[in-house]
Structures are given as C-alpha cells and as structure tokens.
C-alpha cells in the first residue's frame, strides 16, 4: 500500500514539474558562429503571424496643387502638404484609428471641421508630430520601414497594448502585505517573481539598465547595484515577450553585457528604449490635461506605450512590412538621428580593449553605424 502511495505521489510530482515546462515542437535557428551561444529556440505553437494590412482607401494622388493650409482652416501640422494628399491621409487615419460607426466625427465636429472642440483632434495632431519624429529622429530604430498610425492602433481607437502606473506602485506606507510590486506572477514579466512594473522606471523615467558589476552596491564607478538587476531583468522579460524572441536575439550568452559580442539587434533595441521614453514623456504625458478620465490609469496618468504597443509579439512590427509609402507626409522633416546618450563613438573600441570599463557609468553606447 505504501509503495502504491509513494508511486502515486511521485507521478503527481513529476506531472506538476512538467506542467511548468513548455511541451511541443521547438524551432532552433543559429544566428551566429557555431559555439558562440547564438541560437534562437522558440516554441512553434507560440509563433505569432502578422495580420493582413488594410487596403488603401484609394490610390495615393500625385503631389502638387493647393496646400492643405490654403484649402482648409486651422491646419497646424500638415499645412504644407498638398490638399489632395492631406485628404488621402485623413481617409487613411479614419480607417486606421477611428471607430467605423463614427468615422471623421471621431475627431471632428461635422458642422465645423476646423474646430478643436474634441480632445481627440488635439491628441491626433500631437500624434502626427510624434509619428514624424519617430520616422526621422528615431530612424536608428525604425529604419526605412517607418511607422504609421496603423502600426500601433491596428484599427483600434486606443492601441490594445498600453500601460499606466500600477495601482499599488506608489507604496502603502507600511511593510505589512506590501510586496513592493514583485513576487506575484504577472504577464508583464513572463509570470516571474520579478518586479511586475518595469515600465515607470525605464519607459517613463530614465532608469539605468546597465547592471553588470563586480560590486554588490552602487558606487561612484557604477551607477546601479546588483539588486537593480531584478528590475532590469523584468524589463528584459517584457522586451522578450513583446518581440516573441528569447535573450539571444540581442545578446550573446557568453557575455550578456559585451557590446562587441552582441548582435546588431541589441543596438536597435537600445535606441528603441530611448524612443519609447521620448514618446511617453514628450508626446503622451504632455497631454495629461487633455485626456479624459477614461483614457487614464488608476493613478491618473495617461496610458502610455511600451514595446508590445508596436511589436505585438513580432520581432518586427507588422512583420516588417512598411506602410509609409502610402503616407509620405508622415516621414517628417529631415532631422538629426538621436545620438547615444553616453560617450563618443570612438569610446567603443577603447571599451573593447578594457572590458572592465563596461561595468561603470562611462560604459559606451552603440552607434547607428553598428547595425
């Protein structure tokens, strides 16, 4: 009898342990030289397929003729665009963003299209500026593929994947029952026990992600402590989930911190994180007084973007397909590409010769030429 019970308990324990694994077929792709630990291993059943793109409302008309500013009143962002192409873009945005039952009326008063009385028009105008900035200043991340409103909205008035400051993240004033935002399974961090809200620190603030150090505590030569690794790992879990990849998509497991061993995708991600900060700080948070209460989170801040907002489980948003050709006015004006935040470009080779320099606050950043 006792042997039967022991066998049953062992079988139950084995089943429980296996439940934490991911059974099923896996696909392995070598992304670097053999023996360098650069392999992508993904669960075939979890690979997402890019959805079909919407057709254009009608063919893009030729450029030229009267401008939008000459034709309509109160055109503040796209005034230099020809009226014909302005109309084409408005028809596209209606298709990409507005609820079908509202159409143009989602942003405009049909009795006075020039009026700014609807908050959605104020927001849309700022989002046009944001999109132009992403396609110009942040071309280090979006490359020539670019983005349009559809990249994030995908036919929804509000993108499906957004975030706001969590309900209990500001503290309760007591240590009893306060998990400090972690040790609770959360999809934001792959259901790990890591801090479940890495967004406020890294996608709104400028939290330093460089945690590799040989010292337990922060020091003058290293700006964060080993403890901060938990929050950084939480952010990395989000990035991994958002792109549907694992760590070696960017990093070499031989040395996660070494830029010279990493893939070019790590440099693209570096600029992507800073692009998200720019978007949240300068184009969304700045509209806090414009958004109504139902467009804000539990702490009263507007819903903001993270990696999932655009990527939606894919390594490249929309599967790498570009829609910018049908909306050329969203390319934006020529603008200097965002530069690395720390150190001149020539500092990178020097850091490779002195690996210890990568652990302190002078750690160099990648340059656009690393891609």
> What pairing do the DSSP bridges indicate for beta strands 39-43 and 26-30?
antiparallel
DSSP three-state, residue 116: coil
Decide: 131 and 330 in contact? Cβ < 8 Å.
yes
DSSP three-state, residue 190: coil
Distance CA 150, CA 81 (A): 20
Distance CA 73, CA 190 (A): 49
pLDDT at position 157, please?
96
Mean pLDDT of 191-201: 84
User: Could you tell me the CA-to-CA distances from 299 to 28, 180, 214, 232, 291 in Å, in that order?
Assistant: 43, 16, 37, 23, 14
pLDDT at position 105, please?
97
Mean pLDDT of 120-138: 96
Describe the chain by its helix, strand, coil percentages, rounded to 5.
45, 5, 50
pLDDT band for position 107 (50/70/90)? very high
Residue 155 gets the label, from left (phi > 0), alpha (psi -120 to 50) or beta, of left
pLDDT band for position 5 (50/70/90)? low
Mean pLDDT of 115-144: 95
> Which tens digits make up the pLDDT trace of 319-358?
999 999 999 999 977 666 666 655 444 444 444 444 444 4
Strand partners of residue 67: 82
pLDDT at position 28, please?
85
pLDDT at position 153, please?
96
End-to-end CA distance of the chain: 65
pTM over 0.85? The answer is no
> Which tens digits make up the pLDDT trace of 223-241?
677 777 888 889 999 999 9
Mean pLDDT of 12-33: 71
Mean pLDDT of 302-320: 95
CA–centroid distance for 8 within its chain = 47
Q: Which residue has the higher pLDDT, 137 or 345?
A: 137
Mean pLDDT of 167-177: 61
pLDDT band for position 100 (50/70/90)? very high
Q: How many CB atoms neighbour CB 225 within 10 A? A: 14
Decide: 78 and 86 in contact? Cβ < 8 Å.
yes
pLDDT at position 367, please?
45
Mean pLDDT of 58-87: 96
Mean pLDDT of 264-293: 93
Q: Is the pLDDT of residue 293 over 70?
A: yes
Distance CA 98, CA 78 (A): 19
């Amino acid at each position: 009898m006792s042997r039967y019970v022991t066998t049953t308990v062992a079988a139950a324990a084995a089943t429980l342990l296996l439940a934490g694994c991911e059974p099923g077929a896996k696909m392995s792709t070598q992304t670097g030289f053999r023996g360098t630990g650069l392999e992508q291993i993904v669960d075939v059943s979890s690979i997402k397929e890019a959805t079909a793109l919407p057709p254009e409302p009608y063919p893009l008309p030729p450029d030229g003729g009267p401008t939008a500013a000459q034709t309509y009143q109160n055109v503040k962002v796209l005034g230099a665009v020809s009226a014909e192409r302005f109309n084409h873009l408005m028809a596209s945005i209606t298709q990409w963003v507005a609820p079908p039952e509202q159409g143009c009326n989602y942003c405009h008063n049909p009795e006075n299209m020039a009026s700014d009385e609807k908050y959605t028009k104020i927001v849309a105008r700022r989002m046009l500026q944001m999109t132009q900035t992403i396609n110009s200043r942040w071309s280090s991340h979006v490359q020539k593929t670019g983005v349009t409103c559809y990249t994030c909205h995908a036919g929804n008035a509000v993108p499906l994947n957004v975030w706001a400051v969590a309900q209990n993240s500001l503290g309760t004033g007591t240590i009893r029952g306060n998990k400090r935002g972690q040790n609770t399974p959360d999809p934001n961090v792959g259901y790990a026990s890591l801090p479940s809200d890495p967004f406020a620190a890294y996608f709104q603030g400028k939290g330093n992600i460089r945690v590799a150090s040989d010292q337990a505590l922060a020091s003058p030569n290293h700006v964060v402590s080993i403890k901060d690794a938990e929050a950084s790992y939480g952010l990395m879990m989000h990035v991994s989930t958002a792109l549907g990849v694992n760590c070696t998509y960017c990093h070499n497991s031989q040395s996660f911190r070494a830029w010279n061993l990493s893939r070019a995708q790590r440099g693209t991600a570096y600029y992507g994180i800073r692009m998200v900060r720019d978007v949240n700080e300068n184009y969304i948070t700045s509209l806090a007084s414009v958004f109504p209460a139902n467009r804000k989170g539990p702490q009263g801040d507007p819903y903001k973007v993270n990696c999932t907002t655009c990527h939606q489980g894919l390594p490249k948003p929309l599967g790498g397909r570009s829609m910018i050709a049908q909306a050329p006015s969203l390319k934006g004006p020529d603008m200097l590409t965002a530069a690395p935040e720390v150190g001149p470009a020539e500092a990178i080779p020097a850091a490779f010769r002195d690996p210890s320099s990568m652990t302190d606050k002078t750690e160099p950043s990648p340059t656009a030429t690393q891609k």
